[in-house]
Chains A and B, each alone.
Chain A
């Protein structure tokens, strides 16, 4: 640890805590312990092997453990303490909308009337759950100005895939599924990957100098072999595509459809709707905009929503309301099929439903108000300290770069890791790809002014240290559980599992 780093960090009032050591669970195992006293079976316990061919039954339980319940609980509690969550502190991860995860959502999702429901039990015995699906589809359609929705996609990427499949199926029905999808160069990586799964080749569309879609460039690219344009609006620079209506017209004029990636929906709730912009199909990330937890990487939920002409192609089964009863329609003739075994991540979208009840229709605009105000505030305070590649008011997130720190050889990575020492989760870094050394900050509506001020102070402190002791930042983090990890070694010598 460098002395310079100690001077710059340890004298300051950043938090430290107790961090316990904890080995792999496999190293806690001792013969003769157990973490669950299994109930004795009330049934006759015959010799099982008689019923099976030789060599069918498992004898080898290598790799499984023997630990007591208290040891297991302590193990996972300690592991949890090595993580940083929204409940710990500010989580300004751009494009990820790390907002507060309300506790009433968790309480409702744990009601036995929901957790104990078997996906294949009789519809008559699951009316409450089917109503949740039916109403949530309706509410979500309303929010983005669409006509039909499916909650089946388990995450945003699967929603995207589904949306492109709807486009493919519709165009194919009309005679030509077409070959290409146009993507702005600022798009998320899932967009091209989903397009490839639909056998669409991707055509990049360079952003204009203002960071927005260049309509004349789009006009040149758009042709009758192009199935769709995929847009993110607000885009990944945090800017609203103000010509979106014109953009949609250009695509429609050549018979193509417009797909909107809903990753940044938190900026425009109650302000404007994809459907009214001219978008034909979109997905949402309920784990972003609608407050369901990210769970350390999932489960998410990525509903797909579309205009009525795409409704027949939606994945099945569909929930319909007939004579006051909710029913499942299993085989709509034009449906693209199924994305997973049942109805998607019910337990996740149930939380989003509860969130909507808590916020209310009239409260949606308040969310984007606060989200956009917060992002602009942070931008206004960091402006002189960090380079702003695209000026102008931002929406719910702002993008900065390390250009001012370049000469001191301080990179975005150093800034991110130095934030960790100051008690903050770093912003999204090195995305969007079109900004060198990008830092994408999304505060969400959940943050108080005081929290944002302490974050800004930490960012300013880092910018100052970059001038006076730039080398010390390359050492960060020094206060976290781990220092920087060797990712090259991880790839060159893959160690991907405990080998018993």
Chain B
């Protein structure tokens, strides 16, 4: 299981990468493994205002549907255009080409509430 350094994590299995107040968000390697083959990702439109902890989209495998929860509040400034045609990227490259949305954070302090890679790893251990 892979959880790279330098990223923030949530208990809902999203990750975030901060670059000058813009948080790139996706789902973790653990999440994609639990879901199985991802067949569809439903993302919000650019410009949507979202709140920390609230659902911003949906990820589907063949026989399950899971909500995607935003780690932070802010405005969606970019969505990954490749996921519509190639949702399987979420499986093959969860931390890189499988990213989902970029959020211009309105409350960057929310990052402090997110998990470090170590804390996320510990959390995963409790799920076994």
Contact = CB atoms under 8 A, between A and B. Distances in A.
Interface in A468-491: 487-488, 490-491
A487 B88 CA distance: 14
Nearest to B61: A488
B40 interface: yes
B42 interface: no
Contacts of A487: 62-63
B39 interface: yes
Contacts of B63: 487
A492 interface: yes
Interface residues of B, number: 8
Name, among B36, B37, B40, the residue most crowded by chain A CB atoms within 10 Å (CB to CB): B37
Instruction: Give chain B's interface secondary structure class.
Output: loop
A193 B40 CA distance: 21
A491 B41 CA distance: 13
Contacts of B40: 491
Contacts of A491: 39-40, 62
A10 B87 CA distance: 40
Contacts of A488: 36-37, 39, 62
B50 to A, nearest CB: 21
Contacts of A490: 62
A487 B87 CA distance: 15
Interface in B34-65: 36-37, 39-40, 62-63
A492 B61 CA distance: 10
Contacts of B62: 487-488, 490-491
Contacts of A492: 37, 39, 87-88
Nearest to A492: B39
A488 B88 CA distance: 10
Nearest to B85: A492
Contacts of B88: 492
Nearest to A491: B39
Interface in A442-500: 487-488, 490-492
B63 to A, nearest CB: 8
Contacts of B39: 488, 491-492
Nearest to B88: A492
Contacts of B37: 488, 492
A430 to B, nearest CB: 8
Interface string A110-121: 000000000000
A66 B40 CA distance: 39
Nearest to A487: B62
Interface string B57-101: 000001100000000000000000000000110000000000000
A492 B62 CA distance: 9
B87 to A, nearest CB: 8
A488 B40 CA distance: 11
A488 B90 CA distance: 14
A497 B53 CA distance: 41
Name, among B39, B40, B88, the residue most crowded by chain A CB atoms within 10 Å (CB to CB): B39
A37 to B, nearest CB: 46
A491 B36 CA distance: 13
14 contacts: A487-B62, A487-B63, A488-B36, A488-B37, A488-B39, A488-B62, A490-B62, A491-B39, A491-B40, A491-B62, A492-B37, A492-B39, A492-B87, A492-B88
- CB-CB nearest 9 A-B residue pairs: A488-B37, A491-B39, A487-B62, A488-B62, A492-B39, A491-B62, A488-B39, A492-B88, A491-B40
Interface of A: 487-488, 490-492
Given A487-B63, A490-B62, 12 more contacts: A487-B62, A488-B36, A488-B37, A488-B39, A488-B62, A491-B39, A491-B40, A491-B62, A492-B37, A492-B39, A492-B87, A492-B88
